Copies of this chain bind each other. A is one copy, B any other.
Amino acid sequence: MSPRPGLDQTAVVQAAARLADRDGFHAVTLASLAAELGVRSPSLYNHINGLPGLHAALTLHGLRTLLQGLMKAVVGKSGEDALRQACLAYVEFARTHPGLYEAALQPIAPEQTEVIQAGDSVVELLLQILTPYKLTTDDALHTVRCIRSFCHGFCSLERSGQFAMNLNRDDSLAFMIDVFIQGMNLKAGEV
């Protein structure tokens, strides 16, 4: 054990995630985080590399949590069912952890290899789900980008209040997934 084992990086990042989900990603400042932890803000520098380092750690934590949610949702399922459940789990994660999800989608720099790896894991999971469709390598990757695009876009627009009309949002989500799956069935049949 370290001397005075009060905080560690995990505790700091989890508190930051709590703060982000409660008050929004932009509200995660070193000042607010230090207050949340009952500590002075310079003390945080012992655990994270300033505000940029905190953001990077949150991004990584968010991606890994997202991946776990997706894996849990598709285990034991296959084909269209797995695809549908993965999309729903993606949105579910973004809804229950809005701040952490926002952190997960922050711009990433090329030197953040851990973050890139975590993102790749999500891509690989989706690729596995797509194997029944027997797509070419490129088409499978295009499809993964497609899934990520409409799932992220939906979450992002919903979160920022752009779906203001009086129309059930879960219905919209189901509609969108339907259109995608039907389009994919045609793509698969093309070969």
Q: Is A142 an interface residue (CB 8 A)?
A: yes
Q: Is A78 an interface residue (CB 8 A)?
A: no
Encoded as 1 (CB less than 8 Å from any B CB) or 0, chain A from 148 to 191 comes to 11111110110111111101010110011011111110110000
Interface size class of A (residues with CB under 8 A): 35 or more
Which of B153, B179, B186 is in CB contact (< 8 Å) with A187? B179
Q: Is A27 an interface residue (CB 8 A)?
A: no
> Bound state CA distance, A5 and B138, in angstroms?
57
A96 to chain B, nearest CB (A): 18
Copies in the complex: 2
Q: Is A116 an interface residue (CB 8 A)?
A: yes
**In the bound complex, do residue A176 and residue B146 qualify as a contact, i.e. CB atoms below 8 Å apart?**
yes
Q: Is A143 an interface residue (CB 8 A)?
A: yes
12 other contacts beyond A138-B171, A183-B183, with CB at 8 A cut-off?
A: A106-B160, A108-B161, A119-B164, A142-B175, A143-B179, A148-B157, A148-B162, A149-B150, A153-B153, A182-B182, A182-B183, A183-B184
Residues in chain A within 8 A of chain B (CB atoms):
105-110, 116, 119, 123, 138-139, 141-143, 145-146, 148-154, 156-157, 159-165, 167, 169, 171-172, 175-176, 178-184, 186-187
